[in-house]
């Protein structure tokens, strides 16, 4: 453990530290060697076969779904931050340890809002790592759909006897291809509703899976047509009309856990770049001794620490029971932008090698570039923070 980790660990509980150590050893020693495993789909994402194999290894090592305790209790957000950062040390780590998006956010939501029956049927297979899930919220923006603004949702649901009937289109639905559990968001007269469904379902048709810049998530980011999907009324999550509230319950922690995982990936990319800069000689001395290179790596350390502190601060807010909407927006912007700078510098320090697939550095760069858009683009979060500034100002005038 480096002195940097020791300082961080002082604010982390003993149980989270112990879990984190086991997870880190597993990801570094068992998972990382699979980064060059050729079992990938057309888009470079690991196949379900590879993921299942890694999950079996995690199960055997006692690090599967490590943020949810055997009795079903979750670690606190601060503890989760420590553990999920360790799972992120390889792009395959979150998949192996079952802390990946969208499953981790879906498990969190179901744990908070699901009835005992829904938990038994839909949450259990997710926690056990035996099924993947998808969260059907985002809509195609080009057709006047919601994009990432759920208040403009076009997908509709209406009661028909003891079933709800859902119609609409969804876009960028991560992991839809191959998922066995779906959380579908639609709008009724009462407001937004959420439903749990078994997948695949013939009424949920994957139109296409676009090629995207990132490739760490199995099943890609599908565009989906929902055509007269009939869902038994007892598969509604919580109450009709409460969907936006539940979305908020899920979104802040899910935003933050993205920050946690990619922080781990950027820490690893930095280690790879630093190792390269110390070994490689150019113009008569090691690369690290050239100020232009050494200073880039120094800036990485600063950005990594600032991002870590921002994550911890936001996690502490969520642990008070606060929704942390503004805090998670601030953290998402600060962390994703800092991680982008880190990933970019790592590629630059490694020069030609940095743009090849010889190391994970180029993949981390692509993943973090996409991260600045998913879970709300930087600009959407800034816009919502600006609205809050205006609201707070108006309140202060009153």
Write out pLDDT tens, residues 200-211: 999 999 999 999
Q: In this model, does residue 90 exceed pLDDT 60? A: yes
Q: With bands split at pLDDT 50, 70 and 90, how would you rate the model's confidence at 43?
A: confident
pLDDT at residue 174 tops 70: yes
Helical (H) or strand (E) element with 312:
helix 291-319
pLDDT in tens, 320-361: 999 999 999 999 999 999 999 999 999 999 999 999 999 999
Angstrom distance (rounded) from CA 24 to CA 90? 10
Question: How much of the chain, in percent, has pLDDT values that exceed 90?
Answer: 90
pLDDT score for 278: 98
| Nearest one of 89, 141, 111, 77 to 328, comparing CA atoms | 77
Question: Token pair for residue 300?
Answer: 């990485």
pLDDT band at 151 (very low <50, low <70, confident <90, very high): confident
- The closest of 75, 91, 88 to 24, measured between CA atoms, is 88
- Residue range 39-64: mean pLDDT, rounded: 96
Confidence band of 72 (pLDDT split at 50, 70, 90): confident
Q: Could you give the C-alpha distances from 139 to 37, 357, 383, in angstroms and in order?
A: 34, 33, 20
Structure tokens at 209: 């899976």
Residue at token pair 């981390």 = 364
* Confidence check: pLDDT of 238 > 70: yes
Residue 349 confidence (pLDDT): 98
- CB 100 within 8 Å of CB 65: no
One-character DSSP codes across 30-63 = IIGGGGG---B-TTSPBPHHHHHHHHHHHHHHT-
Distance CA 17, CA 21 (A): 6
| Residue 32, CA distances (Å) to 88, 129, 260, 305, 389 in order | 11, 19, 18, 23, 44
pLDDT tens per residue, range 278-335: 999 999 999 999 999 999 999 999 999 999 999 999 999 999 999 999 999 999 999 9
Contact present, 293 and 277 (Cβ < 8 Å): yes
Give yes or no for residue 2 having a pLDDT over 80.
Answer: no
Confidence of residue 9 (pLDDT cuts 50, 70, 90): very low
**What pLDDT was estimated at residue 152?**
84
Residue 147 has pLDDT above 70, yes or no: no
Q: Percent helix, strand, coil in the chain (nearest 5)?
A: 55, 15, 30
- Give the pLDDT mean for 221-246: 96
Pairing of strands 204-208, 156-160: unpaired
pLDDT band at 4 (very low <50, low <70, confident <90, very high): low
Q: Are 316 and 81 in contact (CB under 8 A)?
A: no
d(CA 215, CA 366): 8
pLDDT of 5 over the 60 cut: no
Whether this prediction's pTM lies above 0.85 is answered by yes
What is the distance between the alpha carbons of residues 55 and 65, in angstroms, rounded to a whole number? Answer: 9
Residues 340 and 338: their CA atoms lie apart, in Å, by 5
């Amino acid at each position: 453990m480096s002195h940097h980790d020791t300082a961080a660990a002082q604010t982390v509980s003993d149980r989270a530290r112990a879990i984190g150590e086991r997870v880190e050893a597993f990801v570094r020693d068992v998972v990382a060697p699979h980064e060059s495993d050729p079992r990938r789909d057309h888009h470079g994402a690991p196949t379900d076969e590879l993921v299942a194999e890694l999950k079996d290894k995690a199960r055997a090592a006692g690090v599967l779904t490590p943020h949810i305790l055997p009795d079903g209790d979750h670690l606190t957000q601060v503890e989760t931050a420590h553990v999920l950062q360790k799972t992120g040390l390889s792009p395959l780590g979150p998949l192996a340890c079952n802390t990946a998006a969208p499953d981790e956010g879906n498990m969190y939501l179901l744990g908070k809002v699901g009835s005992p029956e829904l938990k038994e049927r839909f949450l259990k297979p997710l926690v056990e790592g035996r099924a993947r899930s998808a969260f059907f919220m985002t809509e195609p923006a080009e057709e006047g759909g919601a994009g990432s603004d759920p208040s403009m949702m076009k997908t509709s649901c209406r009661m028909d006897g003891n079933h709800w009937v859902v119609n609409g289109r969804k876009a960028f639905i991560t992991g839809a291809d191959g998922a066995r559990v779906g959380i579908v968001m639609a709008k009724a007269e009462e407001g937004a509703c959420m439903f749990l469904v078994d997948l695949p379902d013939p009424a949920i048709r994957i139109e296409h899976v676009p090629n995207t810049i990132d490739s760490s998530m199995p099943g890609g980011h599908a565009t989906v047509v929902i055509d007269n999907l009939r869902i038994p009324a007892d598969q509604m999550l919580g109450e009709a009309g409460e969907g936006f509230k539940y979305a908020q319950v899920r979104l802040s922690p899910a935003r933050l856990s993205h920050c946690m995982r990619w922080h781990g990936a950027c820490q690893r990319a930095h280690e790879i770049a630093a190792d390269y800069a110390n070994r490689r000689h150019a113009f008569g001395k090691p690369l690290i001794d050239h100020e232009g290179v050494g200073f880039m790596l120094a800036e990485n350390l600063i950005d990594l620490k600032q991002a870590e502190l921002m994550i911890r601060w936001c996690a502490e807010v969520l642990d008070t029971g606060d929704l942390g909407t503004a805090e998670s927006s601030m953290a998402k912007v600060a962390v994703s932008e800092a991680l982008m700078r880190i990933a970019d510098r790592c590629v630059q320090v490694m020069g030609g090698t940095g743009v090849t697939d010889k190391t994970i550095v180029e993949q981390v760069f692509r993943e973090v570039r996409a991260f600045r858009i998913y879970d709300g683009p930087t600009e959407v979060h800034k816009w919502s923070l600006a609205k809050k500034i205006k609201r707070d100002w108006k309140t202060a005038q009153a």
